[in-house]
Amino acid sequence: KTMLRYTSYDEQGELLDRWADEITVPDLSAGDVQLATPRFLLARSPFELRALLTTPEVTPTASRRLRKSDRLLVELEAYAASGAPELSIELLNQRGESLVTVPVPAASSGHPRVEIPLQSLAPATYVLKVIAKNASGHAEQHVPFRVVP
């Protein structure tokens, strides 16, 4: 665990607030597989999609309400002391039933990005099941999102 101390100042340099948060930093040298929170990268036009595909550092969207016309890329990040774990994504419906397994391509540089085919999904709630595994173990995350008309 690590203690982070924050201090907030206004434009004139006056102290506004101070606070501390305790966070848990995982030990990546222990060999356990760790999976970072998947980042949703959203494009609403071909121009935005081209920018997402060619720019290594992109700001993710916080929204989990997506339109069928949106193009969604999910950026994944996983760690293990013994090397990069194998990644997979499974698309589940709201009852937890598997709809499709989406292949995760190897990243040429940076972190792998996977396009989720929103155009073929009916308006409903879905869950991305992200799995990272290697010989020493596995990690799993479930990320819900909603497709709206």
Summarize pLDDT for 32-83 with one digit per residue, the tens: 888 889 999 999 999 999 988 888 888 999 999 999 999 999 999 988 877 7
Cα 91 from Cα 102, distance rounded (Å):
7
| Per-residue pLDDT, 109 | 66
- pLDDT at 25 > cutoff 90: no
- pLDDT at 98 > cutoff 80: yes
Cα 96 from Cα 12, distance rounded (Å):
52
- pLDDT at 7 > cutoff 70: yes
**Which residue, among 105, 107, 116, has the nearest Cα to 43 in the 3D structure?**
116
**Which residue, among 65, 70, 64, 76, has the nearest Cα to 49 in the 3D structure?**
70
The mean pLDDT of 16-39, rounded to a whole number, is: 85
Cα 58 from Cα 41, distance rounded (Å):
7
Question: Amino acid letter at 21?
Answer: D
| Per-residue pLDDT, 108 | 67
pTM for this entry: 0.77
- pLDDT at 20 > cutoff 70: yes
